[in-house]
Structure 1
């Protein structure tokens, strides 16, 4: 499922789902994933507000594990308050609050009336939001490419990844060191240009995330970090203070 696509196979002209509802339903568009040749068609649920692109023709499906062909990265903008989104504050919350505090923080709920919309705040919510939009688009006055390092935004990071960033990564061949309590990833997914070190101070958190990654070593790993360069070329390191900084993205719920 995708909220945007391209009019041309060269991926030069973007079209959003709320624009495409005015088009002929038989018009084919192209998947946001440059490695995927799926042809997408506009679909709608309950009117144009819930419009999205989908590969409905079996002769032009998504490639295996294309995230835009699954429900793994669904993001319904109508459920969130973009005007209240502050990316740096959201990232600092990932770094600073305990898992228990996050779970009990229900500031968007009220005892009377309907729940109030809140901005994206979990690592999954922010990642899905970023994947649902082109890298040059903005959400909460912040460009997508400034928030997420992935295959699409790699061109923005010619000298490395610094500061508060979410990375879309995969595991390295030797991906952990239990003596140092470190996990090693590489990103972006296709080029594997940069190496990332996840540095843990808490042994229980390290073991939990290490085991989760070990059991899903073929999946995409997303990490919210405050990245700094190391003494190794193209290596960057961030402290991981809790489980909420890391998530595993599994391709499930095929829409092809």
Structure 2
């Protein structure tokens, strides 16, 4: 039995990692000032940053089920007898729904997993699933371990403004913060696949400090099934704040810290100045 692992472009995986682990990536789409673009096909985070700076109209859309079906067919032609397809939270995107529709028509069995995460929260889980598949674990084991990892992971965000989330309808319970004083910087987190408010602080500097405090505390209290942790720091045109945060976390936690821009699609929804931190516990072998 050969298990292929498929994800989508919001997993924020570098091309070298995708190639190394044989992961197939289905891209989401952006529409910038009426022109349709494919994430990853000449569209990287810098494209969205430029568009956000000039206040362009930006929308995003899920892949079509036929796009997923082609990916599943290609995996089967490449020798896969089973597929694990892991994707961005269904609470934020219809991507999982499209994957499930395509799975019904796929030439081999497909297990679709809603990560209920974004960014490297999804990416770390996908890499681990690919490693498990390559190690010969059964598809049931791959799915159980990826679901456990996703369920134990966290995503926290500090956004400069709630405007982009509000426009895109991805604001969840953070809607309650709309209209707050401009000095208030919301710390948000993912809860059951949705964006919810966690805390409100007075300055951007304090918000970043809280991200660090919360991340370190979580890494020091991992679940008993975990064997270490991986941490990711994302940003949208905010390297001057994200880089010191990543460096500080590297000194305080026992595990790697990956620093990368947010994917173009996620950046379009959270806006300029956003910083995110992902904590992803590794299940024991």
TM-score range, shorter chain: under 0.3
TM-score w.r.t. length of structure 2: 0.25
Higher relative contact order (CA 8 A, sep 6+): 2
TM-score w.r.t. length of structure 1: 0.27
